[in-house]
Structure 1
Amino acid sequence: MKRCDILIIGGGLTGLMVKYLLRKASIKSILVEGRERLGGRIYTTLSDAKNPPLEMGATWWGPKHIQLKALLEKLDIPIFPQRLGQKAIYEPISTSPFQLVTLPEEDQPSFRISGGTSTLIRALASALPATEIDLGTHVTGIYETEDGLRVACKNGDYHARLVVSTLPPYLLKKSVNINPPLPEKLSGLMEQTHTWMGESIKFGLVYDRPFWREAHTSGTVFSNVGPVTELYDHSDFEDDRYALKGFMSSSFYTLTETERRTRILRQLRAYYGEVVDAYLTYREKAWAGDSFTYVPYSMPVFPHQNNGNTQYQKAWLNGKLLIAGSETAPQYPGYMEGAVQSAQWVAEFVETLSFDSFKFTKD
């Protein structure tokens, strides 16, 4: 059994940011992640001579996301605005043809991270000791002991004085056995907390030229008909590798990848013609099939339901368990900004403890 003062569960943005901040404060911790990669719902695929980075997870952020912006600046990570254009293809109903509409002038533009959102994950990870990050470590249980918590994993247990879970609350509730059980009020809240991106199906198509930028068309699409509900220009920062990135209705989760791609191309063909069939690469991610992010809800849950609830800003199991993560942040829950703010709350909480009777080992 490995022993540590603080164990962080989850290697997404919140988990890595918690570890990064604790290390800055010289407080030791270990991070465990069930996947064989870091990043969680930040997942950038490809990026080579022909293919731009394709975001299958978190992609955009805005000017109001000031903590994320400050972090990117501190890590010297370049950003660039999302290209929308002046027009968008709009498909309101199935019985009428699509329209080319004028987009309102943007007051709050969206931004992307140069090199892909995973650039942020790599930057945080590079500042951390690899010996304190355990990948492929699937947590199955959290059990209170006299002097801390025992965290059961499929490949060995850990003992920590404080545990920080950054799993989506619903996933934590459904996939990790906790004893003694959490209070009924909190447990019921977790049962009805939306997991952001859990139902999303994202896809990317790479092309050798940005034909959607030609006159009388657009790379921005909004459709009430589907199966593609939204589409955007997803070319890279240098604008020399071109792609479209979109969202597919979650109702198509049960189809195979080939079946989804066929339906996507059929819809895009109506907008752009046969040129869409000349794609170089196709990638997709149906997040409902990712067991480290999502498990099916036991009851209907609305988008953002109970995200940022005040119960998530408390310590549980006699002060030994913190439930963090983007869904728990009071501001911008579900977004990267929420993930960063949640990590900052955890770090501030731990710093307070370290100056009280609950002192931690320091580097």
Structure 2
Amino acid sequence: MMDKKIAIIGGGLSGLYAAYLLEQQGITDYLLLEARDNLGGRIQSFTPNNTEACFDLGPAWFWPDIQPEFAQLINDFQLDSFAQYDTGNMLIERSLSETPNEISGFVTEPTSMRLTQGMGCLIKTISEKLTNTNIHCSKQVTKLERQENKVIVHYHDSQNNTQQMATSDHVLLALPPRLAIKLIEFSPSLPETLTQQWKQTATWMAPQAKYIAVYERPFWREQQLSGSVRSMVGPMVEIHDASLSTEPKLAALFGFIGIPAQQRKDIGEEQIKAYCQQQLVRLFGEQAAQPTAHMIKDWAQDAFTSTTLDSQALSHSLAPPRSPINSTWSQHLTGIGSEWATEFPGYLAGATEAAELGVERYMALYEK
């Protein structure tokens, strides 16, 4: 059985950044297990056929003015960024029976920034900096078991359909608190108060669905429109220009779908895509009728993001405790998913913040 100092459960931004921070401290004796078939967690992208473009399906923005540490990380990794396009007028859609209102656009404050190659390049950059080879996808952790001074990590290898085990001194939970409670059996059980606190912590992105349509050029800009829309009609309630730079080779629009999760499931993805396309035609004209590619990412249907508790609208509270107190788990378990961040829970900056806090705790416990 493999024995490691640390087991990192989850290969999204927080898990990968924790691995990076450990390696910066000279610690490579860790195991990272990701349930999905690829790294990135909620950072996922859409690449149309015959292109190299990566359009964000998950988080896309960061705000240097209020998240300077995250912005510095982007600079340190030498990743190019640009401001969200907001030049031109925006549209307000109030009714199907009325032409959308065109109003003067406004400059977003603080400035929303995006990565030129999509947020997936952050995952790629961190992954390429790691030297440890014990980073594995398609490995879903099903049980954590305390035994003597170790944690036995039980996981299912979906590639060869086998159950496997490893041991570690400490576990860093790099997934949402609510999802950890749903997917992982803890033996012995976590304290009931902590279990309830984790279950009551909403998962960012989980109730959301995003639609993206890709075009050969940003024709809305030719109409002096920014691509920004607010709609009381739907199905998309908020729309933005999703092109990858200010002078895009491929242009795109994306929107947040306002239909509740269960209704989306009942209607079906293809029908919702058709409704979204019809809405873009209403807003921007017939040029919007023929995207070169389009898709929906419904996070509520993602088993490694959402639970049934996440089908409701987001209602966020303060970050829950990262670890149990006065429990056999106290010295062996730390939550580092973005929801555990104290300053920016749920955001990209929260993922790196929570990873830093988790690694600091591990270092204080084990590397004195």
The reply to whether TM is greater than 0.5 is: yes
Matched, 1:210 2:184: no
Matched, 1:242 2:243: no
Shift of 1:60: 0.5
Matching residue's letter, 1:98? P
Matched, 1:84 2:64: no
Shift of 1:94: 5.6
> In structure 2, what is the equivalent of residue 30 of structure 1?
31
> In structure 1, what is the equivalent of residue 231 of structure 2?
223
> In structure 2, what is the equivalent of residue 165 of structure 1?
173
Deviations 1:269-298 (A, max 9, x none): 111222211110112211111111111118
Q: Is the 8 A contact 2:86 2:106 kept in 1?
A: no
Aligned residue for 1:259, secondary structure, equals: helix
Q: Distance in 2 between matches of 1:295 and 1:81?
A: 33
Shift of 1:50: 4.5
In structure 1, list runs of 5 or more residues that go unmatched: 357-363
> In structure 2, what is the equivalent of residue 351 of structure 1?
363
What is the aligned-residue identity percentage? Answer: 30
Distance of aligned partners of 1:313 and 1:99 in 2 relative to their CA distance in 1, 3 Å threshold: farther
> In structure 1, what is the equivalent of residue 199 of structure 2?
191
Distance of aligned partners of 1:353 and 1:75 in 2 relative to their CA distance in 1, 3 Å threshold: same
Q: Distance in 1 between matches of 2:243 and 2:300?
A: 26
Q: Distance in 2 between matches of 1:165 and 1:322?
A: 6
Matching residue's letter, 1:225? V
Query: Which TM-score applies when normalising by structure 2?
Result: 0.91
Distance of aligned partners of 1:313 and 1:176 in 2 relative to their CA distance in 1, 3 Å threshold: closer
Q: Is the 8 A contact 2:6 2:31 kept in 1?
A: yes
In structure 2, list runs of 5 or more residues that go unmatched: 158-163
Deviations 1:293-332 (A, max 9, x none): 111118x8652523523x2266761310111211110111
Distance of aligned partners of 1:297 and 1:213 in 2 relative to their CA distance in 1, 3 Å threshold: same
Root mean square deviation, CA, Å: 2.0
Q: Distance in 2 between matches of 1:97 and 1:307?
A: 42
Shift of 1:92: 3.8
Q: Distance in 2 between matches of 1:51 and 1:13?
A: 22
Shift of 1:203: 1.7
Aligned residue for 1:294, secondary structure, equals: coil
Q: Distance in 2 between matches of 1:192 and 1:244?
A: 33
Distance of aligned partners of 1:95 and 1:192 in 2 relative to their CA distance in 1, 3 Å threshold: farther
5 Å-filtered alignment, 1:92-171, equals: 92=94, 96-129=98-131, 131-155=133-157, 156-171=164-179
Q: Is the 8 A contact 1:304 1:333 kept in 2?
A: no
Matching residue's letter, 2:298? A
Aligned length in residues: 354
Matched, 1:303 2:305: no
Shift of 1:241: 1.4
Q: Distance in 2 between matches of 1:70 and 1:232?
A: 26
Aligned residue for 2:151, secondary structure, equals: strand
